[in-house]
């Protein structure tokens, strides 16, 4: 497994029907505690556009004629690894046709559930491996509509505030109208990590961390970036892996 824990989102119109699955998930130490549960497809769609999700558990039947799980999945431009979670076995074939990765019944037993979850986590790791790529620069329109070329090697960190991402580079900064997760998805996944919900940091620029703060190699970068409890373990794990890769390539 490439992460200490994996972030899970449920989109389920009747959360009472997944209480058994949520209870079983508490016993899996590689799953982040307190998975997010949203009861409407609209909420789920918006959440996926703003937050990091590794595994999506998607109900197939929302009790509505205008939308179901298959249609919602088709609306996602870059869906996370997705598990159809439903009491209706007819969706087991339908989910495969649209590209949903796995299927589970809401009455699945613990051993079978654990096997599926380990398989799904492997899919998450494989997906991230495929998305790793050499990216030297980004061409983006800033908030003034001016095209800006960002060299990835020059980025120190990005900060989001009211849907505006400000990127700090060596001696300059640029602001873009987008979510932090969208900006993160443009970058090499193994070179950047979030120490806090509002920050994304270039791991190559980090000189060290303590329990609560990130320190940069360049002393002129005076932004105080705290490490939140939510991201503490995952950020330090990502930094450790990055530093290990750096040693092996030298």
pLDDT score at 133 = 65
Q: What is the mean pLDDT of the chain?
A: 90
SS3 state of residue 211: coil
Helix, strand or coil, per DSSP, at residue 216: strand
Confidence class for position 250, pLDDT limits 50, 70, 90: low
Tokens of 200: 């994304």
Tell me whether strands 55-58 and 8-11 are parallel, antiparallel or unpaired.
parallel
Q: How is the chain split into domains, by residue range?
A: 8-131, 137-249
**163-194 residue pLDDT tens:** 899 999 988 999 999 988 889 888 887 899 99
Spatial distance between the Cα atoms of 110 and 120, rounded to a whole number of angstroms: 15
Q: Which two tokens stand for residue 85?
A: 């979670």
Can you give the pTM of this predicted structure? 0.67
Tell me if 56 sits within 8 A of 83, measured CB to CB.
yes
With contact defined as beta carbons under 8 Å apart, do 91 and 84 qualify? yes
Per-residue confidence band for 132, with pLDDT thresholds at 50, 70 and 90: low
Confidence check: pLDDT of 218 > 90: no
pLDDT at residue 55, as a whole number: 97
Distance CA 150, CA 9 (A): 32
Going edge to edge, which strands form the sheet with 213-216?
206-209, 213-216, 225-226
pLDDT of residue 91 exceeding 80, the answer is no
Question: Under 8 Å CB-to-CB from 45, ≥6 apart: which residues?
Answer: 72, 75, 76
- What SS3 state is found at 113? helix
Question: Which of these ranges, 43-47, 111-115, 137-141, 217-221, has the smallest mean pLDDT?
Answer: 217-221
Q: What percent of the chain has pLDDT over 90?
A: 60
Q: What is the pLDDT of residue 1?
A: 82
Question: Domain 8-131 carries which CATH code?
Answer: 3.40.50.2300
Which superfamily does 137-249 belong to? LytTr DNA-binding domain (2.40.50.1020)
| Identical topology for domains 8-131 and 137-249 | no
pLDDT at 207: 94
């Amino acid at each position: 497994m490439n992460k200490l824990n994996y972030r899970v989102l449920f989109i389920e119109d009747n959360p009472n029907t997944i209480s058994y699955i949520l209870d079983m998930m508490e016993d899996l130490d590689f799953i982040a505690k307190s998975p997010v549960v949203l009861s409407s497809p609209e909420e789920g769609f918006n959440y996926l556009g703003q937050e990091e999700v590794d595994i999506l558990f998607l109900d197939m039947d929302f009790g509505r004629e205008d939308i179901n799980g298959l249609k919602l999945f088709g609306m996602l431009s870059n869906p996370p690894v997705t598990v159809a979670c439903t009491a209706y076995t007819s969706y087991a074939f339908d989910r495969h046709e649209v590209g949903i990765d796995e299927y589970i019944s809401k009455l699945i037993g613990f051993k079978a559930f654990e096997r599926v979850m380990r398989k799904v986590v492997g899919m998450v790791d494989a997906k991230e491996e495929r998305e790793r790529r050499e990216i030297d620069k980004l061409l983006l329109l800033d908030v003034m509509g001016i095209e800006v070329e960002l060299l990835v090697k020059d980025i120190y960190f990005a900060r989001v505030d009211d849907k505006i991402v400000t990127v700090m580079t060596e001696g300059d900064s640029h602001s873009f109208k987008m979510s932090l997760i969208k900006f993160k998805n443009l970058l090499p996944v193994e070179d950047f990590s979030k120490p806090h919900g509002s920050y994304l940091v270039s791991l190559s620029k980090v000189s060290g961390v303590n329990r609560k703060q990130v320190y940069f190699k360049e002393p002129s970068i005076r932004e105080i970036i705290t490490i939140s409890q939510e991201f503490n373990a995952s950020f330090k794990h990502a930094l450790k892996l990055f530093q290990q890769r750096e040693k092996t390539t030298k």
